[in-house]
Amino acid sequence: NEYLSEDVDARVIEYEDNQPLLDMFLQKPMGLLSLLDEESGFPKATDQTLVEKFEGNLKSQYFWRPKRMELSFGIHHYAGKVRTLKHCNLPHSKTKNIINYQMRTSEKLINLTKGEAGEATRHARETTNMKTQTVASYFRYSLMDLLSKMVVGQPHFVRCIKPNNERQARKYDKEKVLLQLRYTGILETARIRRLGYSHRILFANFIKRYVDFLSFHVQCIEKFLRRILGNKKRIT
């Protein structure tokens, strides 16, 4: 801890650690993706045998099965419970169709990753004994390839929030927006930031940055903020 090393009297900031959840997905040989790869290699494997394998091997508090007779399972994500569909479509995890689509698609965003996808696919073939690469193995190694690039770079993250399902301007579905803020970790990031060093913005800069999101007159903003913050020259 940097605070302790410099003898700074500061409280420890508690935060949600997703490492155990990531381990449940990525660890070998008993991670969820590894188990999916293994089951995909069996000719007689079914969705039922896959769910039973997950239940028998994933000794994690983040895995749950709603009802024993129901063909589904769920994951305790930090933002809430994420439940799969009743049919896992195990045969589709063995096909190359999805991977081939990603390599051939004309979508600009996916085209940007064609080179990385090919490299990740090559590594996946080199490190697995399966005759046919699965979607799970492709995802795992492409993720590793992405992380290796992020470590040596200086990434800037942009969070995109969908305001409504009707595609209408200046219309905000508060519940939908709140869920997205929670699921993308923005609320947790803001909470942690408040516990650490504060980030202060001048009134003028704040107004310039967020004026398009406001439904009332710009001249009222500073009065409103000063009323909340007690006549401070800056906002936190």
Q: Note the pLDDT tens digit of each residue in 220-232.
A: 766 776 776 665 5
> How do residues 205-214 score in pLDDT, each as one tens digit?
877 887 777 6
pLDDT value at position 203?
Answer: 76
Strands (E), the chain: 63-64, 74-77, 80-83, 201-202, 234-235
Domain locations along the chain: 19-152, 156-197, 198-236
Stated length of the chain:
236
Cα→Cα distances 31→96, 98, 122, 139, 153, Å: 22, 22, 22, 14, 28
Which range among 16-30, 99-113, 123-137, 185-199 has the greatest average pLDDT? 16-30
* pLDDT at residue 166 is higher than 90: yes
- Computed on alpha carbons and rounded to an integer, the radius of gyration of the chain in Å comes to 23
Flag the least confident range among 53-57, 96-100, 116-120, 206-210. 116-120
DSSP for 120-134 reads HHHHHHHH---SS--
pLDDT value at position 164?
Answer: 94
Mean pLDDT of the chain: 75
List the beta bridge partners of residue 81.
Answer: 76
Strands (E), 94-221: 201-202
Domain 19-152, CATH class in plain words: mainly alpha
Assess contact for 11 and 4: CB atoms under 8 A.
no
Assess contact for 236 and 200: CB atoms under 8 A.
yes
